[in-house]
Amino acid sequence: MNVVVVGGGFAGVKAAIELSKRHVGKITLISDEPYFLHHATLYATATGRDMAESVIPLTTIFEHYPNVTVVNDKIEHIDPQRHILNGKNKQYHYDKAVLALGSVTTYFGINGMADHCFGIKSIEEIKNFHTHIQKALVEEKLDKEYFIVGAGPTGVELAGALCEYLCHLIKVHNLKHTKCRVTLVEAAPRILPRMSNTADEKVMIRLKKMGIKVMVNHKVQALDDKHIVIDGRKIPTTTAIWTSGVANNPFFAAQGDTFHLAKNGRVEVNHYLEAIKDVYVIGDNNTVKNSGQAWPAMHQGTFVAKHLARLATKRPPKSYFPRKFISGLPVGEDWGYVERFGIYADGKVGAWARRQVELAGYKQLLPAKQARDVWNAHNIPEIDV
């Protein structure tokens, strides 16, 4: 069997690893970036922590799986009749294709947002953000108010980390008279909408204790290089970081005739995560319950590998059942919140538990010793910009 996996993120990498372990035949992993991005720690990398915990070269992961060929290319089109994936550089034939392209940012058409906001979804965005902070430090022009738009887990954990980072910079650079505040803006009536009410309550208390201003039920209407407009009020700032709004990868909408898309743009799949004959769509790209998070993406990657191994050995297929995984977030270095099945831990215990979940995640992708090294990169002292 010739399996081509597209996408070097959580779902694609996990699928390729599990296919490799099962020796299903020829396995090719195609990704448009040469590295795997560990999104859950990008908030830390964006606020001075070591890059190593967030960026892992695909060659490092697959040096342990020599039967996987890693190719750096961008897939632009699929021809399901001919079983061909058209890349920017060349064409790839497949018997089975696994598409795991992840999601992209959307700005909901907010005036000026795409041009003026910062992001933390890619290395380039993080570098831009660092350069911006560095320039402001050198010129002693830190903003009075730093805005984070979107109070999902990414926005909240970034708020905690940014608050501590700014305090650290002010102290290290002896900017005694500089006062800045982090403000979290959310259009919905509460923070962490996909988590429990307890999460909302506990994390709100923590944010307030850290001095972070939280504005729920407030809509950002516009952004330029000097101001943000929230509910008609123009507030001076040069820094707004967008952590809201994700949309499905445009690859699928561009081939709306091939794929069946739900209202939210994600791809409909059957019980085996198959979207069309011999093409599986996994991770953030499909409509399966709990998709949109890292652990479900890896779970689906494993499922598809097992499924294809069953087909290769002519065993009857089994259906996919979504699983709910532990969810949580850090808010500052020594505080975290985790929950599963109505049980939660917060504070130092929550921070410890969240770190353990991260370590378990790295172990899904790397041998134990290497996983621990990457995980420990979080403790490398902060780089002073």
Query: Which residue ranges make up the site for ligand FAD (CB under 6 A)?
Result: 6-12, 30-33, 39-40, 42, 74-75, 100-102, 120-121, 153-154, 249, 251, 283-284, 292-295, 297
Instruction: State which residue, 172 or 254, has the beta carbon closest to ligand FAD.
Output: 254
- For 176, counting Cβ atoms within 10 Å of its Cβ (0-12 exposed, 13-18 middle, 19+ buried), the class is exposed
Task: Say how far apart CA 227 and CA 250 lie, in whole Å.
Answer: 30
Given a contact cutoff of 8 angstroms between Cβ atoms, the answer to whether 235 and 226 are in contact is no
User: Which of 298, 243, 248, 307 lies closest to 279 in space, CA to CA?
Assistant: 307
In b/e form, how buried is each residue of 81-109, taking b as 16+ CB within 10 angstroms?
eebbbbbeeeebebbbbbbbbbbebbbee
89 dihedral zone (left: phi>0; alpha: psi -120 to 50; beta): alpha
- Burial of residue 208 (CB within 10 Å: 0-12, 13-18, 19+) is exposed
Distances (CA, A) of 355 to 159, 328, 336, 349, 351: 18, 10, 9, 10, 6
Contact present, 335 and 159 (Cβ < 8 Å): no
CB closer to ligand FAD, 112 vs 301: 301
User: Of the two residues 101 and 223, which places its CB atom closer to ligand FAD in the complex?
Assistant: 101
Contact 255, 223 (CB under 8 A): no
Distance of closest approach, residue 11 Cβ to ligand FAD, in angstroms: 3
Shortest Cβ distance from residue 301 to ligand FAD (Å)?
A: 7
Quick check: 70 and 63 in contact, CB under 8 A?
no
> Which residue number, 143 or 252, has a Cβ lying nearer to ligand FAD?
252
Q: What is the nearest approach in angstroms of ligand FAD to the Cβ of residue 341?
A: 17
Tell me which residue of 120, 87, 99, 115 sits closest to 246, measured CA to CA. Answer: 120
CB closer to ligand FAD, 54 vs 238? 54
For residue 30, the 8-state DSSP code is: E
For the CB of residue 284, give the shortest distance to ligand FAD in the complex, in Å.
4
Report, in Å, the least distance between residue 74 CB and ligand FAD: 4
* CA dist., res. 240 & res. 225, Å (int): 9
Shortest Cβ distance from residue 243 to ligand FAD (Å)? 7
Comparing CB distances to ligand FAD, the nearer of 9 and 112 is 9
- Nearer to ligand FAD by Cβ, of 32 and 145: the residue is 32
Q: What is the full DSSP assignment across 41-53? A: GHHHHHTT--GGG
* Beta carbon of residue 224, minimum distance to ligand FAD (angstroms, whole number): 24
What are the tokens at 219? 């809509």
Q: What's the closest the beta carbon of residue 328 comes to ligand FAD, in angstroms?
A: 8
* Min separation Cβ 125 and ligand FAD, Å: 9
Give the residue nearest to ligand FAD (CB). Answer: 9
Nearest approach, Cβ of residue 296 and ligand FAD (Å): 7
- Choice between 142 and 344, CB closer to ligand FAD: 344
Burial of 117 (0-12, 13-18, 19+ CB in 10 A): buried
Nearer to ligand FAD, 142 or 281 (CB): 281
Distance CA 75, CA 86 (A): 6
Closer to ligand FAD by CB, 137 or 336: give it: 336
